A = this chain, B = another copy of it.
Amino acid sequence: MSIMTDEDFMRRAIDLSLLGVESGGGPFGAVIVRAGSVVAEGSNRVVPTADPTAHAEIVAIRQACAQLDTHTLEGATIYTSCEPCPMCLGAIWWARIGRIVYGNSREDASSIGFDDAAIYEEVAAPIERRRLPMRQMLADETKKAFDAWLLKADRIPY
């Protein structure tokens, strides 16, 4: 068996991005690789599955974790046909994926009508300058669950 390269895995992500369009989703695909083998794949499924979180990267992460029965993917690389949006970059971080290889940029995505660059601006903005209004309240009461978490001897951090 020949050893697969970054180019090979990225070309598979490109195939999945075309499949996304063909199957009624957005033009995005992703592949998760660990120890040289594909662990999971995803195409964008937002519209077909009525799930705004069904970006290719998240579809692939959820599938990889379900298959491996784990909430972390240490040592994995994600190949994605487009730079991950902040939602997907956050998911990649929480999944402990170690490296990202991508093709199109956030600006490319924005140029065909997707909100990626706008969401990057929103996430980086101070809360009082956000476009999406935010109100903080009852911070004293919301601490209760944090206290309960710290007191729980068998808690599993993630």
Instruction: Please list the residues of chain A having a beta carbon within 8 angstroms of any beta carbon in chain B.
Output: 6-7, 10-11, 13-14, 17-18, 20-22, 24, 26-29, 46-47, 50-53, 58, 61-62, 65-66, 69-73, 81-83, 85-105, 108-109, 112-113, 115, 119-120, 122-124, 127, 132-139, 141-146, 148-150, 152, 155-158
Contacts and interface: CB of A to CB of B under 8 A. Distances in A.
Contacts of A47: 71, 156, 158
A3 to B, nearest CB: 17
A93 B51 contact: no
6 contacts: A11-B138, A50-B70, A85-B90, A87-B93, A97-B132, A101-B135
Given A100-B132, A137-B7, A148 B51 contact: no
Contacts of A96: 52
Given A90-B88, A95-B52, A145-B17, A138 B58 contact: no
Nearest to A53: B91
Given A21-B145, A52-B158, 12 more contacts: A14-B141, A21-B148, A53-B95, A81-B142, A82-B142, A86-B89, A86-B123, A88-B90, A93-B115, A103-B139, A108-B146, A120-B123
